[in-house]
């Protein structure tokens, strides 16, 4: 880095006429040949900020000391770059291979900067955005981008809620009517929020997660999107108040808050859809194939979820059979191809969960009647025969799962109520509000201390250790609460050398799929319309994946339609 700074300087040394510059510790240029120190100093660059050399060069040229509050001039994309770096580091700490951070994510990000013409490109004609170019160090500091009026920007609404109106503290009502000169700490904050970015993908906090997921997917890392989002919520991946880690000089206020502050948990659908858009925007090629040895392959994921759901291992055979039958185990189906608009994109976690649900329906029918019958038979058999391994009892399984689920759900509900959104670093809309904000922060801290003492318990803030599994079942439990080893014999029969289910029936979740283009989904879910057992199973996976039951239900419908395709779309003779 320093070498590069020195290397950019091509003046000949006064003393020895060589062009061989280096930098002293004090940041001054010196001639390596004759050790002549000259007046020129390199500009203050904090290496902590930028991860890769290219972008550093970009920002270096433009960083100049602000006279008033001694902050840097920084661009929104720099901020996001910082965020991504932090997220990548966290993922690495969780066990993701370092390649993700150093190569994949970097490259995706660079590509994004290039495509959105914020860097690595020629100066776009007529665009008001300032150019950051490393290649042809043209730095046009003179033309300031036009700042739209503050009021106009205030009226923009982001999905994260109306931050700006809430930025008014105390009892006075929200909208700031002043159109002051500086409305954000970043140089292009206001520009970033302007709506006219149709063909470009506007960077936002959820999109950082889309970036991460893309990189994970490229590397076929054993982390699904639901895992990723869960880690975010649990605090293992910086997201909520990540701007805390911005360097001191990178002042954040005004519209930056709208960009970098998060006031809601990332939503699966949103991150996923943005990921699709992003991949298309970046014009990425077909991703590496998802084969049956990959974690994301339904066979693998089903195994994981079966274990987590405390279901018998034997069910895995069935999930594999279903996967094979409807060809969803094939690389062409599973692999992500951004450019191909005709293929339906796969949500690996949802798919695997849905397969399990279908298998359960195949074997147990789940009509609030048949499964209990089967369970009673199994129970009888288990009572009379204690030597051979137990048969799987659906009823017992339900009881065990329900109690665990209730406990976990209760914990989760309390965590949701106890979730802390604010951080130490105070946020203020404008310099005028600063003192008010700080005062309020002080009051908050005082009150928290006062009542914290009364609550008796130590302030927890203990993040649960990151774990892939949320529910754990051990075979060593003597109370028989682990069902992994239980047998499905009671519900199976052999026909023509093939194991089939005793259950002859099946009910479809839906006879007809919706048109996705019209309502955005292929199927809709209403708890009241379906059997309670079905809802229970959906609820279980809904909890594990932290998504609405309707998404799993939708996937179940699609799978069923593939499975019973011939019967459903039988052409009349």
Partner 1 sequence: MDSLMERAAPCPAAQAGSVLLPALHLPLLPPHLYRPATSHEHKLNFRKSKEACLTYIQDAMLQKQWKRAAEFLTFYIESLEKDFSTEYMGPSEMIWRIGTEILCHHSYSSMKDFNSFIEQMKTLGVKRYLKVCLEHAFHLLCNGQTDEAYQNLSLAESWRFGEQTTAQDKELKLIQAYRGLLDYYSWSKQKNVLLEYGTKGTSKVQSTNDKEGFEDLSVEQEMHSSFRKAAVNLKEIIQIPGVWDVFVKCYVDFLKRHGEPKKSLISVLKILHDIVPSHELMIDFNTMLQKSKKRKKRRLGLEVIFAALDYAGWKENVKAWSCLARQVKQIIISEKHLDWIKQEWNSRKDWWPAFHFSRYLAKRNWQENESLAYEKALVAGILLGKDCKYFKYVSHQGCKDQKKRLRTLKKFVNKHSPVYLRISGLSDSSVQT
Residue 170 within binding range of partner 1, rule CB under 8 A: yes
Binding flag, residue 536, partner 1 (CB under 8 A): yes
Our CB check for partner 1 shows the closer of 335 and 533 to be 533
Cβ–Cβ under 8 Å, residues 332 and 386: no
514 is a contact residue toward partner 1 (CB under 8 A): yes
Token output for 457: 């318990």
Residue 127 structure tokens: 């665009």
- Our finding on whether 517 is near partner 1 (CB under 8 A) is no
**Contact (Cβ atoms closer than 8 angstroms) between residue 558 and residue 513:** yes
According to DSSP, the β-strands at 21-23 and 28-31 are: antiparallel
Strand, helix or coil for residue 569: coil
> Does 531 help bind partner 1 (rule: CB under 8 A)?
yes
Q: What is the DSSP string of 491-517?
A: GEEEETTEEEES------S-SS---HH
Site for partner 1 in 174-213 (CB under 8 A): 174
Q: Should residue 273 be labelled a site residue for partner 1 when binding is judged by CB under 8 A?
A: no
CB of 441 to partner 1, least distance (A): 7
Does position 333 bind partner 1 by CB under 8 A?
A: no
**CA distances in angstroms from 392 to 162, 228, 314, 363, 544, listed in the order given:** 51, 33, 10, 12, 22
**Cα separation, 71 vs 64, whole angstroms:** 9
| 267 near partner 1, rule: CB under 8 A | yes
How many alpha carbons lie under 13 Å from residue 422 in its C-beta half-sphere? Answer: 15
Exactly one of 141, 421, 467, 480 binds partner 1 (CB under 8 A); that residue is: 421
Q: How far is the CB of 208 from partner 1 (least distance, A)?
A: 18
Does residue number 418 form part of the binding site for partner 1 (CB under 8 A)?
Answer: yes
Task: Tell me which of 367, 433, 491, 556 binds partner 1, using CB under 8 A.
Answer: 367
Is there binding between residue 54 and partner 1 (CB under 8 A)? no
- Distance between CA atoms of residues 75 and 85, nearest Å: 16
CB of 268 to partner 1, least distance (A): 8
CA 400 – CA 249 distance, rounded (Å): 54
**572 alpha carbon, distance to own chain's centre:** 47
Residue 427 DSSP symbol: -
Single out the residue of 196, 528, 569, 572 in contact with partner 1 (rule: CB under 8 A): 528
Shortest Å, Cβ 52 to partner 1: 34
Structure tokens at 188: 């292009």
Binding segment for partner 1 among 87-95, 446-454, 476-484, 489-497 (CB under 8 A)?
446-454
- Integer Cα distance of 341 and 277 in angstroms: 11
In the 8-state DSSP scheme, what is residue 339? T
Contact between 70 and partner 1 per CB under 8 A: no
By beta-carbon proximity to partner 1, the closer residue of 59 and 310 is 310
The DSSP H or E segment spanning 41 is: strand 37-41
6 versus 366: smaller Cβ distance to partner 1? 366
How far apart are CB 122 and partner 1 at their closest, in Å?
Answer: 41
**Shortest reach from residue 33's CB to partner 1, in Å:** 58
The reply to whether 285 sits near partner 1 by the rule CB under 8 A is no
Which of 225, 523, 544, 559 binds partner 1 (CB under 8 A)? It is: 523
102 secondary structure, DSSP code:
I
Kindly state whether residue 502 participates in binding partner 1, applying the rule CB under 8 A. no
Report if residue 464 touches partner 1, rule: CB under 8 A: no
Burial profile 27-45: b = 16 or more Cβ within 10 angstroms, e = fewer: eebbbeeeeeeeeeebeeb
* C-beta closer to partner 1: residue 46 or 165: 165
Q: Tell me which residues in 388-417 interact with partner 1 (CB under 8 A).
A: 395, 398-399, 402, 409, 413-414, 416-417
CB of 342 to partner 1, least distance (A): 22
C-alpha to C-alpha distance for 223 and 213, rounded to whole angstroms: 9
Q: Distance (Å, rounded) from C-alpha 573 to C-alpha 571?
A: 6
Q: In terms of CB distance, is 218 or 370 closer to partner 1?
A: 370
Q: CB of residue 317 vs partner 1: minimum separation in angstroms?
A: 25
Cβ neighbors of 469 (< 8 A, separation 6 or more) are: 304, 307, 308
Per CB under 8 A, 572 contacts partner 1: no
- Judged by CB under 8 A, the chain residues 148 through 167 that form the site for partner 1 are 160-161, 166
CB of 58 or CB of 556, closer to partner 1: 556
Closest to partner 1 by CB, 265 vs 295, is: 265
């Amino acid at each position: 880095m320093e070498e590069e700074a020195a290397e950019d300087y091509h003046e000949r040394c006064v003393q020895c006429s060589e062009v061989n510059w280096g930098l002293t510790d004090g940041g001054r240029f010196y001639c390596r040949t004759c050790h002549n120190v000259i007046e020129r100093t390199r500009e203050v660059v904090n290496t902590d900020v930028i991860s890769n050399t290219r972008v550093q060069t970009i920002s270096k040229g433009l960083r100049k000391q602000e006279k008033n509050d001694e902050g840097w001039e920084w661009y929104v994309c720099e901020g996001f770059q910082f965020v991504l770096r932090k997220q990548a580091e966290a993922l690495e700490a969780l066990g993701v291979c370092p390649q993700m951070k150093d190569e994949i994510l970097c490259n995706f990000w660079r590509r994004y900067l290039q495509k959105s013409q914020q860097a690595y490109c020629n100066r776009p004609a007529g665009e008001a955005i300032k150019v950051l170019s490393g290649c042809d160090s043209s730095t046009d500091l003179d033309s300031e981008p036009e700042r739209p009026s503050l009021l106009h920007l205030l009226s923009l609404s982001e999905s994260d809620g109306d931050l700006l109106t809430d930025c008014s503290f105390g009892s006075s009502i929200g909208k700031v009517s002043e159109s002051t000169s500086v409305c954000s700490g970043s140089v292009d904050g206001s520009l970033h929020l302007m709506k006219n970015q149709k063909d470009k993908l506007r960077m936002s906090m959820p999109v950082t997660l889309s970036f991460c997921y893309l990189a994970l997917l490229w590397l076929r890392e054993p982390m699904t999107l639901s895992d990723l989002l869960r880690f975010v919520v649990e605090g293992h991946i910086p997201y909520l108040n990540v701007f805390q880690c911005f360097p001191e000089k990178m002042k954040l206020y005004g519209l930056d808050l709208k960009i970098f502050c998060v006031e809601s948990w990332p939503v699966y659908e949103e991150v996923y859809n943005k990921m699709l858009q992003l991949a298309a925007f970046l014009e990425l090629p077909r991703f590496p194939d998802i084969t049956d040895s990959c974690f994301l392959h339904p066979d693998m994921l089903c195994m994981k979820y079966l274990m987590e759901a405390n279901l018998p291992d034997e069910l895995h055979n069935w999930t594999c059979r279903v996967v094979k039958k409807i060809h969803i185990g094939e690389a062409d189906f599973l692999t992500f191809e951004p450019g191909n608009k005709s293929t339906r994109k796969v949500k690996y976690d949802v798919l695997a969960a849905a397969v399990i649900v279908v298998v359960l329906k195949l074997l147990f029918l789940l009509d609030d009647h048949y499964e209990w019958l089967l369970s009673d038979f199994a129970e009888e058999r288990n009572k009379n025969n204690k030597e051979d391994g137990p048969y799987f009892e659906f009823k017992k399984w339900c009881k065990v799962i329900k109690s665990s689920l209730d406990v976990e759900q209760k914990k989760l509900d309390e965590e949701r109520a106890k979730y802390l959104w604010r951080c130490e670093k105070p946020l203020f809309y404008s310099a005028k509000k600063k003192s008010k904000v700080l005062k309020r922060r002080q009051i908050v801290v005082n009150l928290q201390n006062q009542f914290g003492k009364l609550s008796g318990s130590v302030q927890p803030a203990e993040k649960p250790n990151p774990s892939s599994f949320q529910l754990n079942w051990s075979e060593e439990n003597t109370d028989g609460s682990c069902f992994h080893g239980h047998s499905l014999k009671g519900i199976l029969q052999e026909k023509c050398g093939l194991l089939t289910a005793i259950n002859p029936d099946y009910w479809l979740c839906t006879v007809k799929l919706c048109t996705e283009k019209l309502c955005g989904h292929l199927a809709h879910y209403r708890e009241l319309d379906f059997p309670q057992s079905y809802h229970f199973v959906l609820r279980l996976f809904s909890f594990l994946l932290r998504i609405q039951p309707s998404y799993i239900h939708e996937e179940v419908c699609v799978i069923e339609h593939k499975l019973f395709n011939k019967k459903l779309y039988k052409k009349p003779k």
